[in-house]
Structure 1
Amino acid sequence: MKAAVLKAFGSPLAIETLPDPVHGTGEVIVDVVAASVLPYAGEVFSGERGYLLDLPVVPGAGAIGRVRAVGPDATRLSVGDWVLCDPIVRARDGVPTPDITLQGLSARGDGGLLLQRYFHDGAFAEQIRIPTENAAPIGPLDPADAGRWAALHLLLVPYGGLLAADLRAGETLLVSGATGNFGSAAVAVALAMGAGCVVAPGRNEKALADLAERFGPRVRPVRLTGDGDEDRERMKRAAPGAIDCVIDLLPPQAGTAPVRAAAMTVREFGRVVLMGGVGMGGGDDLGLPYPWLMRNSITVRGQWLCSREAVPRLTALIHSGLLDLNHFTVTDFALDDANEAVAHAADEKGRFRLTVIRP
């Protein structure tokens, strides 16, 4: 099979012919139709992000594809089925805290790196071998739409947070970081889940206007000033009533001040879910006040990505028409042009934009 190979950090991807992957029990071979290219993929491949990645490797975290072959323990999957290739690979002997690797991207700790050495190569290839449980059926679709369905990998991140928050129909949600890639996806997903109102704060007035125009009056944009107290009051005033839930998806460079301001808009007995990158590069602690948390019975939860059951539930929202993938603009690249795809993903990153490789 043809694949893009990262041989050393800082070197371009090499397009090579590799042996076809061979599956065993508990594994599936998938023909890759559309592989997502992360906006920060170039930072990973350069070594800038310092991700644990055993080289040489076929990179690429996740794909949309069709089942080519299944192991003897698969009872529901059939050859030709359309599936999401979930890159979150969990060790099978670590319940309730399994080691994890993101296939084709990174590992979490030594156990995750050990797991990565087996489920090694990612989706920038014509075929990929994945655990059976990581081949999530997504139902029939037009092959021309496979690139747009690659948006699942983006949408599943905020969806995991909203499930963790137990967001309910009719509730008011505040999305901290609403003008970013994950934040704008959270707005779309929350509305599909039935949120009565989504408060969308940010500094990019053009992006805020786009969200309001794209999704209508249930979205309440708020321009942030940088003053924590003022911004907190602005966000509260934008909501039609109490804010039931806050989800934070801000990147590391945002700092803690806007996260704190957003979190402290939530009502008594409200929920706050933290999913962003704030603090990963050091800096101040979030510092939510103990008396405020205790006296208002606030629930604060961290959430990393999503659980496996999130995939069929999100897929159902799409097939029902509640979540429209046509919001996404997709740019396709051939596998031979993988390096151009990585550069494009970095240059053209933005709300509702996808870069995919079509092997």
Structure 2
Amino acid sequence: MKAAVLKAFGSPLVVEEVPDPVIGTGEVIVDVAAAPVLAYADEVFSGARRYLLPPPVIPGCGAIGRVRTVGPDATVLQAGDWVFCDPTVRSRDDARMPDIVLQGWSARGDGGQRLQQYHRHGGFAEQLRVPTENAIRIGPITEAEAGPWCALTTLLVPYGGLLAADLRAGETLLVSGATGHFGSAAVAVGLAMGAACIVAPGRNRAVLADLVRRFGDRIRPVTLTGDEETDRARMRAAAPGPIDCVLDTLPPSVGSPVVRAAVMSVRPGGQVVLMGGVGMLGGDDLALPYPWIMRNDVTVRGKWMYPPDAVARLAGLIRAGLLRLEDYAVAEFPLAAANEAVAHAAGHGGPFRLTVLRPGPA
């Protein structure tokens, strides 16, 4: 099969013939129809993000495709089924604290790196081998719809955070980083889950206005000033009542005061979920007052990715028309143009934009 291979950090991807994946027990082989190219892929491939992705490797975080072959433990999946290849691979020998790897993208800890030695290659290829539980049926689609369905890779991340926060219909949500790629997805997912109102802070007035255009008066935009106290007051004033939940999706380039301004706008008894990258590349870490957390009974938790059942649940929101893939502008590239796709993704990121590779039929 053909694949785009990262030979070394800082080097272009090389599209070449590689051996077809070989199925084992508990695995599925998928013919890849489309694979998302994340906006920061160039930072990963250059080594700037210092991800644990030892080259040579076929990268790619998730894919949409059709089942080619199933192993002996599959009781529902059949050849030809359309599936989302979930890159979040969990070890099977510790149900309480499984090691996790993002297949074709990164790993964490010693156990994750050991897992990565086997579940290594991602979706920038004509075929992909995944654990049986990671080939998740999404129902029938056309070949042309494979690209837009790659938005699952983006939408699932904030969905995992909102599930962790136990967001309830009718609650008020604040999305810190609402004008970004994952933050705008959090806005769409939060509305699909029934949020009555979403406070959307950001510096980009055009993107804030676009969120209101897309979703109406359930969006309460807040233009940030850079002053922590002023911005917190503006966020609270924009909400129709107490803010029940804050979800942070800000990238590593943002300073901790911006996060703190949003986090401390939550009501007493509220939920805060941290999913961003602040502090990952240096700079001050997030500091929150102990008395404020304790006396206000605030829950602050981190969340990485999403639970195993999230894919099917999110697909249900899409099938029900509560979450619209049509909101995404999709730019598609053939596998031979993998480097062009990475460059395009870097220059055309942001809200409701999606770059995909099409290793299979267009």
What is the TM-score with the length of structure 2 in the denominator?
0.97
Q: Deviations over 1:241-282 (max 9, x none)?
A: 111111011111111111111111111111111111111123
State the secondary structure of the residue aligned to 2:19: coil
Distance 1:63 1:123 in 2: 6
State the secondary structure of the residue aligned to 1:189: helix
* Deviation of 1:9 (Å): 1.4
Structure 1 residue runs of 4 or more that deviate by more than 6 Å after TM superposition: none
Q: Which moved more, 1:100-109 or 1:316-325?
A: 100-109
Q: Deviations over 1:211-263 (max 9, x none)?
A: 01110000000111111111111111101111111101111111111111111
Distance 1:86 1:348 in 2: 24
Contact 1:57 1:121 in 2 (8 A): yes
Contact 1:54 1:116 in 2 (8 A): no
State whether structure 2 residue 206 is matched by structure 1 residue 211.
no
State the secondary structure of the residue aligned to 1:269: coil
Distance 2:119 2:95 in 1: 19
Contact 2:278 2:285 in 1 (8 A): no
Q: CA RMSD in A?
A: 0.9
State whether structure 2 residue 97 is matched by structure 1 residue 97.
yes
Q: Deviations over 1:57-89 (max 9, x none)?
A: 111111000000000000010111111001111
State whether structure 2 residue 129 is matched by structure 1 residue 129.
yes
2:246 is matched with which residue? 246
Q: Which moved more, 1:58-67 or 1:104-113?
A: 104-113
Tell me, which stretches of 5 or more residues in structure 2 are unaligned?
A: none
State whether structure 2 residue 8 is matched by structure 1 residue 36.
no
2:66 is matched with which residue? 66
Distance 1:88 1:300 in 2: 23
State the secondary structure of the residue aligned to 1:112: helix
2:139 is matched with which residue? 139
Q: What aligned pairs does 1:288-303 form with structure 2 within 5 A after superposition?
A: 288-303=288-303
State the secondary structure of the residue aligned to 1:253: coil
Q: State the AA in 1 paired with 2:331.
A: T
Contact 1:54 1:117 in 2 (8 A): no
* Deviation of 1:114 (Å): 1.4
2:192 is matched with which residue? 192
Distance 1:148 1:285 in 2: 36
* Deviation of 1:43 (Å): 1.4
1:224 is matched with which residue? 224
State the secondary structure of the residue aligned to 1:336: helix
Q: Deviations over 1:26-82 (max 9, x none)?
A: 000000000010111111112222211222111111100000000000001011111
Distance 1:12 1:278 in 2: 28
State whether structure 2 residue 278 is matched by structure 1 residue 283.
no
Distance 1:334 1:159 in 2: 29
1:46 is matched with which residue? 46
1:201 is matched with which residue? 201
What is the TM-score with the length of structure 1 in the denominator?
0.98
Q: What aligned pairs does 1:1-20 form with structure 2 within 5 A after superposition?
A: 1-20=1-20
1:351 is matched with which residue? 351
Q: Which moved more, 1:104-113 or 1:227-236?
A: 104-113
2:323 is matched with which residue? 323
State whether structure 2 residue 275 is matched by structure 1 residue 269.
no
* Deviation of 1:318 (Å): 0.1
* Deviation of 1:95 (Å): 2.7
Distance 2:42 2:226 in 1: 30
Distance 2:95 2:248 in 1: 28
* Deviation of 1:285 (Å): 2.9
* Deviation of 1:323 (Å): 0.4
Using the aligned pairs only, state the percent identity: 70
Contact 1:205 1:223 in 2 (8 A): yes
Q: State the AA in 1 paired with 2:180.
A: G
Contact 1:172 1:196 in 2 (8 A): yes
State the secondary structure of the residue aligned to 1:29: strand
Tell me, which stretches of 5 or more residues in structure 1 are unaligned?
A: none
* Deviation of 1:293 (Å): 1.2
Contact 2:330 2:355 in 1 (8 A): yes
* Count, aligned residues: 359
Distance 1:137 1:108 in 2: 27
